[in-house]
Structure 1
């Protein structure tokens, strides 16, 4: 394998938001051996810097489920595939007609900024973040967005994602990466797989030479595209069923590191 791609939360990162020393050691060895290493996450850019500080490797990060590819060496977004403002407006109009209680937020500039309707629930860790703030729907729709975030009270994640996806057929992609009932919407054709394929091409790496790790539905396109798609043992049932392999251990117990040690003979 010439390229290793990994999701973060529930995959590489433990529940306490740390990356284990064993995992750091494995990825530094891969980096030193010339293996391409790519972070592939639903996280916005503003959430990935703690991971970089622990890994100590300037790996490319595919953020916002494929909408932005970020290079930490230059602090730039090297590729962007946002929802255009007109599509964003159409998506919100369709969803509000289908689910009147729905509330919206958007990730802009790859997730450097977030704007949300006043009733959209924001995590306590971001309540006072300078790049996160409330806005009217009209303001939200004025600019392209890396992701549209959709909530409607308490919802079953998979069922609500399917409902949103059906409503947006032909104009956008809908997925989820948590148990909170929030749906993440990207531009049509934009997935972790589409962005990872683009990065692989720049390194002259074929899909068959890629091993990818993930745990949630937003990882499915990437795992099915990669030559070897590996689900976490703690992963969503649909992800485990679709993967080529499943780790022996969870994200809490160095599942990715243990798998790579065996794969590369460390």
Structure 2
């Protein structure tokens, strides 16, 4: 059975540590994948506008799973999203305020499918980091009152980047008991937790895409390096954890890339699998 769809995580996987990639090499691989009828999916915890920027030259030909599965786009068309209910969002904000002080959280971001919001009190250093991952970011007078402001779209994800002195494993145990049962919290690396609808995962989004394209699991290839990639890495036998991934991620995947994200490990694996060297 041949591969018909490839889904790759971005930061720590497809992108190097400078959040970039070999554009010329990618274009050659992408053209060959397209010629062979293979669909490429970018699956990330960050936003759709950021993903479109990364793949601007071919964005209309790609599928984007953003915010860890809360939003799905085909090119510029919104296919599906999982809105957060007002009461659930409020419960998360109350829990964060109860457990953590201003020095404990670097960046608190609330996102819709195309626009993200931060508090106007966020300093310029952290705002610049948020812009890197979310692209279209607006400041609001008080993030706690987000629903009081005019919104053109539903809100779909909460991102919390914790300060270095906060142990992310403690965050999971501390927040779990306070979150509404219909929400899920996933680690996205960089001491960041993403909170959204429990159904909104990379795995579920990928399965929805597979159903739409009538794909079997063994026709899908996946790449990842972090906890939020585990679902899609265990979905198919053609899964690849990055060489630079932590041991539990490498053990969960069916394969491990021979090169790291710093060495274009995803492109290298695709080239060898399809024998694009010919």
Give the TM interval when normalised to the shorter protein: 0.7 to 0.9
Tell me, yes or no, if the aligned pair for 2:5 and 2:219 is still in contact at 8 Å.
yes
2:128 matched residue in structure 1: 124
| C-alpha distance in structure 2 between counterparts of 1:113 and 1:152, whole Å | 18
| C-alpha distance in structure 1 between counterparts of 2:77 and 2:173, whole Å | 33
What TM-score results when the alignment is normalised by the length of structure 1?
A: 0.86
Secondary structure at the aligned position of 2:108 is classed as: strand
1:258 matched residue in structure 2: 268
Secondary structure at the aligned position of 2:21 is classed as: coil
Match of 1:164 among 175, 180, 184: 175
Shift of 1:119: 4.8
- Distance change (3 Å), C-alpha of 1:152 and 1:33: closer
| C-alpha distance in structure 1 between counterparts of 2:230 and 2:92, whole Å | 23
Query: What root-mean-square deviation, in Å, do the aligned CA atoms of Structure 1 and Structure 2 show?
Result: 2.6
Shift of 1:56: 6.1
Tell me, yes or no, if the aligned pair for 1:3 and 1:37 is still in contact at 8 Å.
yes
Consecutive unaligned residues in structure 1, runs of 5 or more = none
Secondary structure at the aligned position of 1:167 is classed as: coil
| C-alpha distance in structure 2 between counterparts of 1:135 and 1:216, whole Å | 34
1:93 matched residue in structure 2: 94
Tell me, yes or no, if the aligned pair for 2:115 and 2:136 is still in contact at 8 Å.
no
- Distance change (3 Å), C-alpha of 1:36 and 1:230: same
1:197 matched residue in structure 2: 207
Shift of 1:57: 6.1
1:139 matched residue in structure 2: 145
Tell me, yes or no, if the aligned pair for 1:116 and 1:140 is still in contact at 8 Å.
no
1:50 matched residue in structure 2: 53
- Distance change (3 Å), C-alpha of 1:116 and 1:228: farther
Once the two structures are overlaid, the 10-residue window that deviates more, 203-212 or 14-23, is 14-23
Tell me, yes or no, if the aligned pair for 1:209 and 1:227 is still in contact at 8 Å.
no
Once the two structures are overlaid, the 10-residue window that deviates more, 209-218 or 158-167, is 158-167
What TM-score results when the alignment is normalised by the length of structure 2?
A: 0.83
2:84 matched residue in structure 1: 83
Higher RCO (CA-CA < 8 Å; seq separation 6+): 2
Tell me, yes or no, if the aligned pair for 2:157 and 2:196 is still in contact at 8 Å.
yes
